[in-house]
Structure 1
Amino acid sequence: MFVVAIIPVYNRKDILFSAIESVVNQTQSPDHLVVVDDGSTDGLPQEFADWEDKRSDSGCQITFIHQPNQGAAVARNAGIKAFPDADWYAFLDSDDLWPPDFLERCLKLVSHSRHIAAATLDREESHVEQKTSQIIDMSEMTADPQVWMFRYGSAFLSGSLLNGELVRELNGFPEDESFASGQDLFFLLRLAAAGPWIHVPGAPYQYRSGLGYPQLHESFSDSHHRWAIIFEKIYNEMVDMDSSRDKLFREILATRWCEAGDQHRLHYRKALSVEAYKRSNSYRLSIRALYGAIRR
């Protein structure tokens, strides 16, 4: 099995190399690591060249790609395009860390079936500045990935091994600007519909915050609206749902649009706030059920 690890990065030279070290020091190394510099202006290319000159041979081949700043989705897709025939892809954000046996444990479980869409570790959420941490058991997510992501989002890409064939079938991450605050969410929701997801017990990966770098969604004052649109797109792609499952997703969508309305209201966007609340109410009123009753 050919495994490619991909780290997209933008202006994070101070923390990038701890992430890289967590990849190259795996008990079972990836066949290749691709570091995609998305147009950094902090001298990262030279820092990387200096680091590579000093590193010992770990058995992991590394490719460094420098490209104009185009966003995380384009950077991740550049890594995929560099090795388009990989059996498995593992994406690691520059502020996260893998445990030493991440790939070994994942590959041991997925080696028995090529039909598995993804394998995910538990997550340790650590806030470096506040010196707090908690472990998130991801077995609930792997039991029903779409419901879990509708409720809690998709902040677990860094702790997952993804089926290469399915990644290519989905054409990688959406690069349209409308997905800028949720391209990983949209991609993982669609991946969840493509095959089973398995939980990998053992040491968690580290999801780090408080490192002095803003999270992507913090750059958007309408992030909840953007996420609600993504959830709605995925909901409209779903087929063969029983009534109880359909009701569950509609209830979550109602909450998501209400959150979007609240965010718009806080930023004094009255028209958008009203529209979001209307969309929330449309799900609460069970429009699908009413339409079905009319047709009957």
Structure 2
Amino acid sequence: MPKVSVIIPTYNRADLLPRAIQSVINQTYKDWELLIVDDGSTDNTKEVVEKFVKKDPRIKYFYKENGGQGSARNLGIKNSKGSYVICLDSDDILLKKMVSELLMLIEQRGVDMVTCQKWVVSLKDHTIRNIEPPNSSCILYHRDLFDRFSYYDEARELVGIEDADLDFQWRIISAARKESVSRVDMNDPLVLYLQHQGQITDHSDLTKLKKRTAMLIEKYQSERVIPREWMALQYRELANFEALLGNKAASKKYFKRSLDLHFSPITISLFLASFFGTYFYRRFVAFIKVVRANIFFKINVLRYARKYPSLYREALDNISKF
């Protein structure tokens, strides 16, 4: 029986998937199984995965009809045999000591879950753009956590990876009112997140994002255990989508709600910018993104590079192979 089960849900990512798979194979910790769940891909994902399956019996391939990230992850988890689970996204890469470091900590501390940070890598120019808080790829779960608090929501509206992650985290926090959940967070960035999507400007995409954000808020707004800062951020995101779509009244309502929950200079700035019309607001948001990327994010990367030089070098070595 393997101790750690790594689940990779994937859909039409045949170009990126080999990097994620190889990063699991390269782990210094070897007692793992890898379950790759193909969520109805129409590219050559099956052929790509079969090459790895033939070489390593620890790797297993599952195919299912397209049903979204939640259903793909759940299929993998339900077929897993390990005591611990990592849900690795197909566009992420684990640094070689990720599993061993998190496993050592979760067993030493006897907690339900352990997290680490991630390097954000731009596939456009192959540079490290930022350090970000954990997503599912950065979390080692105790397997029984899923049996205690259910699995990922399979609603098709939660097609976004970030939405599925946030929904699951909030569900655990909500359920923890009745039963305690223990967690330890590491600052070490042990995962590479490959940022390949472009800027979202399409009206239909914004509408979908707005709908998904509103769905999360409606689902959890009555849960007082959800941190006010987290809920405030969701209201700010919803207000931002409304402003980008030109819905002034709705955007102002949600900006105010966000500020009622948690004061933020960024929220204040966006709120004030929304009074000057959609064109100005879009330009202002673009300006803020440039400033954050070229100043604050770069400072953040330098800070982590100095604090974790060996991890920084390993991240750069991975990037050089792209």
TM-score tier (shorter): 0.7 to 0.9
Secondary structure of residue in 2 paired with 1:111 = helix
TM-score by length of 2: 0.67
Given candidates 156, 159, 165, the residue that maps to 1:184 is 165
2:186 maps to 200
Q: CA deviation at 1:205?
A: 0.8
Q: 2:206 is matched by which residue type in structure 1?
A: S
1:26 matched to 2:27? The reply is yes
Give the alignment partner of residue 93 of structure 1, picking from 78, 89, 95. Answer: 89
What amino acid sits opposite 2:182 in the alignment? P
Total equivalences in the alignment: 251
Structure 1, gaps ≥5 residues long: 139-154, 287-296
SS of residue matched to 1:112: helix
Moved more, 92-101 or 22-31: 22-31
Counterpart CA distance in 2 for 1:63 and 1:203 is 27
- Which of 56, 60, 65 does residue 62 from structure 2 map onto? 65
Kindly provide the CA deviation profile for residues 203-237 of structure 1, in whole angstroms up to 9, marking residues without a partner as x: 53100113xx6799988322144224314533422
Residues 112-144 of structure 1: CA deviation (Å, up to 9, x unaligned) = 344x23212221001021232145264xxxxxx
Deviation, 1:167, is 2.1
Equivalent of 1:133 in 113, 116, 128: 128
Counterpart check, 1:229 vs 2:215: yes
Q: Aligned ranges for residues 116-155 of structure 1 at < 5 Å? A: 116-136=111-131, 138=133
Aligned partner of residue 100 in structure 1, secondary structure: coil
2:102 corresponds in structure 1 to 106
SS at match of 2:121: strand
Q: Which has the higher helix share?
A: 2
Whole-Å Cα distance in 2 between the matches of residues 30 and 192 of structure 1? 30
Unaligned runs of 5+ in 2: 262-322
1:277-296, Cα deviation, whole Å (9 max, x unpaired):
4455456568xxxxxxxxxx
Give the match for residue 156 of structure 1.
135
What's the % identity of the aligned pairs?
25
The aligned runs of 1:160-179 (5 Å cut-off) are 160-179=139-158
The whole-number CA distance in structure 2 between the counterparts of 1:111 and 1:257 is: 39
In structure 1, C-alpha distance between the alignment counterparts of 2:198 and 2:20, rounded to whole Å: 17
Is this contact kept in 1: 2:236–2:258, CA < 8 A? no
In the aligned structure 1, how far is the partner of 2:156 from the partner of 2:201?
13
**Over residues 262-282 of structure 1, what are the superposed CA-to-partner deviations in whole Å (9 max), with x where a residue is unaligned?**
1432xxxx5xx6446445545
Structure 2 CA distance for aligned equivalents of residues 125 and 214 of structure 1:
14
- Find the residue that maps to 1:27 and give its secondary structure: coil
* Residue 78 (str. 1) matches residue 79 (str. 2): no
Question: In structure 2, do the counterparts of structure 1 residues 48 and 282 end up closer, same or farther at CA, with 3 Å as the change threshold?
Answer: closer
The one-letter amino acid of 2:73's match is R
Map of 1:40 onto structure 2: 41
* TM-score, normalization by structure 1: 0.73
How far did 1:198 drift? 1.6
Structure 1 vs Structure 2 CA RMSD: 3.1
- Quick one: distance in 2 between partners of 1:277 and 1:135? 30
Give the aligned partner of residue 259 of structure 1: 240
Per-residue deviation, 1:26 = 0.9
**Separation of aligned partners in 2, 1:204 and 1:254:** 30
Structure-1 separation of matches of 2:201 and 2:183: 26
Contact kept? 1:8, 1:93, Cα under 8 Å: yes
**1:207/1:274 CA distance change after superposition, 3 Å:** same
- For residue 148 of structure 1, what is the aligned residue in structure 2? none
Q: Secondary structure at the match of 2:141?
A: strand
CA contact (8 A) 1:135 1:204 kept: no
